[in-house]
Copies of this chain bind each other. A is one copy, B any other.
Amino acid sequence: MHWTIYLSGEIHTDWRDQIRAGAEARDLPVTFVSPVTDHPASDAAGDVLGKPDNGFWRDHQSSKVNGIRTKSLIENCDIAIIRFGDQYKQWNAAFDAGYCAALGRPYITLHGEDIVHPLKEVDASAMAWAQSPEQVVDVLEYVTIKA
């Protein structure tokens, strides 16, 4: 089985690159997919359709365009990794976790110990909580190729 892994959440650190590099180094049978991680491009995703003056509707339009991508990727993935960093609200990451939970798509959270308490509902539906990209790679290795 080849596995598709969706990398959701924080876009301001290089955690995705670390996981990709780790998986490549161990030759895991995985393909990684992710939302658009270029922040300005993501905010402007819908502008090509005509940029609304009103901030709410501009965000709305762009978020729906982004949703075409993220919704499809989540529904087609085998595992999601959901990353919470130490800044920003990151409600979209928690939203993705809830979406995965309802679909029965297994996900692993990746976050520091300091935010364990506010993330308790998100972690309660997760299959694992990792604190580092390396731990994520270890779990992926076990899950995908351990004989």
Q: How many chain A residues touch B (Cβ–Cβ < 8 Å)?
A: 81
Beta-carbon nearest neighbor of A73 in chain B: B1
Which residues of A are interface residues toward B (Cβ below 8 A)? 1, 3-4, 33, 36-38, 41, 45-46, 48-50, 52-57, 59-69, 71-73, 76, 78-79, 84, 88-104, 106, 108, 113, 115-125, 127-131, 135, 138-139, 142-144, 146-147
Beta-carbon nearest neighbor of A70 in chain B: B121
Oligomeric state, in copies: 8
Assembly CA distance A56 to B1 (angstroms): 31
Q: Which residues of B lie under 8 Å from residue A123 when comparing CB positions?
A: 56, 59-60, 63
Q: Which residues of B lie under 8 Å from residue A76 when comparing CB positions?
A: 1
A121 to chain B, nearest CB (A): 4
